[in-house]
Amino acid sequence: EAQVTQNPRYLITVTGKKLTVTCSQNMNHEYMSWYRQDPGLGLRQIYYSMNVEVTDKGDVPEGYKVSRKEKRNFPLILESPSPNQTSLYFCASSYNTATGGYTFGSGTRLTVV
Amino acid sequence: ILNVEQSPQSLHVQEGDSTNFTCSFPSSNFYALHWYRWETAKSPEALFVMTLNGDEKKKGRISATLNTKEGYSYLYIKGSQPEDSATYLCARDTDKLIFGTGTRLQVFP
How far is A12 from chain B, CA to nearest CA, in Å?
18
Specify whether the CB–CB gap between A90 and A104 falls below 8 A: yes
Nearest to B47 by CA among B60, B31, B29: B60
pLDDT value of residue A97? 72
Selected residue of B42, B45, B49, B73 to mutate for chain A interface (largest A Cβ count, 10 A): B49
Specify whether the CB–CB gap between B32 and B102 falls below 8 A: no
For the purposes of burial, counting CB atoms within 10 Å of the CB of A81, is it exposed (0-12), middle (13-18) or buried (19 or more)? buried
Q: List, in order, residues 6 or more apart from A62 with CB less than 8 Å away.
A: none
Question: pLDDT tens, A8-39?
Answer: 999 999 999 999 999 999 999 999 999 999 98
* pLDDT values of chain B reduced to their tens digit, one per residue, 109 residues: 558 999 999 999 999 999 999 999 988 877 899 999 999 999 999 999 999 888 999 999 999 999 999 999 999 999 999 999 999 999 998 877 889 999 999 999 9
Share of residues in chain A with pLDDT > 70 (%): 100
How far is B17 from chain A, CA to nearest CA, in Å?
27
Contacts across the A-B interface (CB distance below 8 Å): 60
- Give the CA radius of gyration of chain B: 13
As separate numbers, helices (DSSP H) first and strands (DSSP E) second, chain A gives 0, 11
